Amino acid sequence: MAALTELAALTEAGKIETAAERPAVNMHCHTFFSFNAYGYSPAGLAWLAKQRGWQAAGIVDFDVLDAVDEFLDACEIVGVRGSAGIETRVFIPQFATREINSPGEPGVYYHMGIGFTSGTAPDPKGLERPLGSPAQTLVSMRARAERRNRDMLARLNAHLAPIAVDYEADVLPLTPGGNATERHMLVAIIRKAAEAMNDGPEAAPSHALLAFWADKLSTPEAQITAIIGDYAKFSNLVRGKLMKKGGVGYVVPTPESFPTVEEYHRFIVACAALPTATWLDGTSAGEQAIDELLGLLIEQGAVALNIIPDRNWNIADPATRALKVRKLHQIVEIAAQLDLPINVGTEMNAPDNKLVDDFDAPEMAPVRQAFLDGAAFIYGHTVMQRARGLGYQSAWAKTHLPARKERNVFYQAVGQQVTPGRAGIARLAALDPGLSPVAILARL
């Protein structure tokens, strides 16, 4: 943050040039609090967005809110429209026999909350303890994730002998806040094997290392040799063979492995944030029943939809690309019909993820404006909640904007009109909270 403040001052003084703002957004960036493939901290992502002229940027981390305060503060310092979210997996009983968006795991669903304005979850004394407070839910999510990690690592160590990865010594030091993910364990395993079989992690792959991986992955040594120098390809192979369904480290989840949708939504809403459905590519049995799925989630409080566009059009096979582009365009139409603003991004938690989506691609042209509007919407909510406590879930919003559609229109307009940075926050903070939505927009 000290470095960012200095960079902002140098930029203001004209000593550092940043790109002019352009219609590009990445509202789904994992920070290094839940693994960023490029090592970006929350402040680093804010500076990346400023440098490259992104219209807006948003973070999303697995199971924690550790990055929220730093990121939103950083966005104010450099003048970037920012939003912050959380992602976890939940179990949906109504889809217990259908795969949704977690490949090979029927009933398991990647689910999100966006629009958080604080990294601290409330813990009100009056909340009924059987339901658990938001703060307790947050602690529980972190603890469940750690249990899953430790169970997986124990299985992997048994298979990978003679090497063994120590969770405390080898995995946790890769994280700034102790929230390790599967990808942190993947880095630790690949590094440990290289250290054990080579002269060091940076040494050229030895025959012993190649033979080790050929044996442990049940893969021809020639194939290992061909890709071991490409971390993206090699790590995907290791992860697929060892950690995903069918791999020795895979543990079949149970409903108790994850929070329920109801529990997760209570936590998100209590934090004045927005429960957000997620969509993979429309090809699974669960996503082919998308009306049923979204109807269920909306009934339980979902008010937005997350999409990772690049994996739905940037595909080499023409037939697969045509199918997924068609489904991408369809889900955007469905979201509009259901009044679900769209949150998009590239994730950045794998080494082959782009830093930002290519909105100039022909496949993106029909949906680009919906994605830009979604970014404006979530920034509008964030800045209103952060400055005046008048975000989407506020009593003020429920009184003045009772319908989701009119609420969406208002917060999108705020996001488009409020200048990012401290000046914009100060302008909103000076407004009378008794004003109507129309009066607020007139004063921006």
Look at residue 167 in the predicted model and tell me its pLDDT.
Answer: 97
Task: Determine the 3-state secondary structure of 347 from DSSP.
Answer: strand
Cα→Cα distances 96→255, 279, 288, 442, Å? 9, 17, 15, 49
Question: Span 18-121+271-443: which CATH code?
Answer: 3.20.20.140
Q: Which two tokens stand for residue 276?
A: 């957000």
Look at residue 226 in the predicted model and tell me its pLDDT.
Answer: 96
Q: Which residues are CB-neighbours of 165 under 8 A, at least 6 positions away? A: 153, 156, 157, 171, 185, 188, 189, 192
Angstrom distance (rounded) from CA 23 to CA 375: 11
Q: How many CA atoms lie within 13 A of 373 on its CB side?
A: 16
Angstrom distance (rounded) from CA 48 to CA 173: 24
Alpha-carbon Rg for the chain in angstroms = 22
Angstrom distance (rounded) from CA 195 to CA 260: 41
Mean pLDDT in runs of 10 for the chain (444 residues)? 96 96 97 96 98 98 97 97 97 96 94 97 62 84 92 96 96 94 96 85 83 96 95 94 93 84 95 98 97 98 98 97 98 98 97 96 97 98 97 97 97 97 93 94 93
> What is the per-residue pLDDT across 69-118, written as a single tens digit (0 to 9) for each?
999 999 999 999 999 999 999 999 999 999 999 999 999 999 999 999 99
Q: Which of these, 421, 357, 426, lies nearest to 82 by C-alpha position? A: 421
Angstrom distance (rounded) from CA 416 to CA 420: 10
* Contact status, residue 142 vs residue 64, Cβ threshold 8 Å: yes
> What is the per-residue pLDDT across 320-361, written as a single tens digit (0 to 9) for each?
999 999 999 999 999 999 999 999 999 999 999 999 999 999
Look at residue 129 in the predicted model and tell me its pLDDT.
Answer: 44
Look at residue 197 in the predicted model and tell me its pLDDT.
Answer: 87
Residue ranges per domain, the chain? 18-121+271-443, 140-242
Q: Which two tokens stand for residue 220?
A: 């021809």
Look at residue 251 in the predicted model and tell me its pLDDT.
Answer: 86
